[in-house]
């Protein structure tokens, strides 16, 4: 066994015995480090202490050429840094060759959205049963206020100000934010509140409940939205976050106010919200291609 493989084996035992890491996590570290050893062997490097930054860069470049994405390479480098931190502590290496190496950035995937006509069709469901009234209120609220699924499932009536048309939610990082609710969503919520007592038999604190009065789970809400998308003939896969994406894209498209959309969504960093500017440009490019005489093929 090469010396580096022996070191890797001891490091993985350290992760199990001293760090108490989960088996899956240790296996992920092991795969990354075994791959490192194989790539270093291709460079005729067989000892951890002999590895330099250039060797790590060459390994990352080779994996990138083989199709590894930025996130995968970030994890690969993280595994190497952790390994070398241990080696330095054990006096088996003098420096960490991965500390200054950065993985190539992954291209950000643009979130999908529904256009306004598709949203209108989805929300135009027949409210002939109490459950349908509830489901309409769920979808109207998510699209009206851009709420996350976890914010909807944890919502209680004392967080909803129907007269003031506001909802207060606890978002990521336990941060509270206040978001407007549109008129149509307010009407849908009022209709569901009237039905809810009859369905569950008592005045429930959770806003969205089952027929037994228990708060709906995230999976239940996802299933109900899928049901109505099929019922309304929406060909696209529809899920709660798609309605949140659509809300953000449509508000930005109409207002052009990125900072306001950031506040509405509860993003701590505006760079997270900026992805919707790309969606807006896609819309403009589509209009241009269809309307400008010089753009037609």
* Catalytic residue ranges: 148, 172, 241, 244, 267, 276
3-state secondary structure 188-220: HHHHHHHHHHHHHCCCCCECCECCCCCECCHHH
Residues whose CB falls within 8 Å of the CB of residue 261, separated by 6 or more in sequence, listed in order: 248, 251, 252, 255, 273, 276
Structure tokens at 262: 């950031």
The span from the CA of 276 to the CA of 258, in Å, is 8
């Amino acid at each position: 066994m090469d010396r580096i493989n022996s070191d890797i084996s001891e490091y993985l035992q350290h992760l199990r015995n001293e760090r108490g890491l989960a088996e899956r996590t240790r296996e992920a570290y092991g795969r990354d480090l075994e791959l490192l050893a194989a790539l270093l062997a291709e460079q005729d490097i067989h000892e951890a202490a002999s590895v330099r930054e250039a060797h790590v860069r060459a390994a990352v470049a080779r994996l990138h050429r083989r199709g590894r994405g930025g996130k995968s390479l970030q994890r690969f480098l993280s595994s190497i840094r952790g390994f070398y931190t241990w080696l330095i502590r054990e006096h088996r290496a003098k420096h960490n060759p991965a500390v200054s190496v950065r993985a190539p950035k992954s291209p950000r995937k643009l979130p999908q959205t529904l256009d306004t006509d598709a949203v209108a069709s989805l929300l135009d469901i027949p409210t002939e049963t109490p459950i349908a009234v509830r489901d309409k209120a769920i979808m109207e609220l998510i699209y009206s206020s851009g709420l996350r699924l976890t914010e909807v499932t944890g919502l209680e009536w004392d967080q909803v100000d129907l007269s003031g048309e506001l909802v207060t939610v606890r978002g990521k990082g336990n941060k509270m934010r206040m978001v407007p609710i549109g008129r149509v969503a307010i009407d849908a919520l009022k209709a569901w509140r009237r039905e809810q007592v009859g369905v569950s038999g008592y005045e429930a604190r959770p806003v969205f409940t089952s027929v037994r009065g228990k708060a709906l789970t995230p999976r239940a809400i996802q299933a109900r939205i899928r049901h109505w998308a099929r019922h309304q003939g929406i060909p696209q896969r529809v899920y709660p976050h798609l309605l949140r994406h659509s809300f953000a894209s449509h508000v930005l498209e109409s207002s052009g106010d990125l900072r306001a959309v950031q506040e509405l969504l509860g993003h701590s960093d505006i760079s997270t919200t900026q992805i919707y500017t790309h969606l807006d440009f896609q819309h403009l490019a589509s209009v241009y291609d269809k309307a400008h005489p010089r753009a037609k093929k």
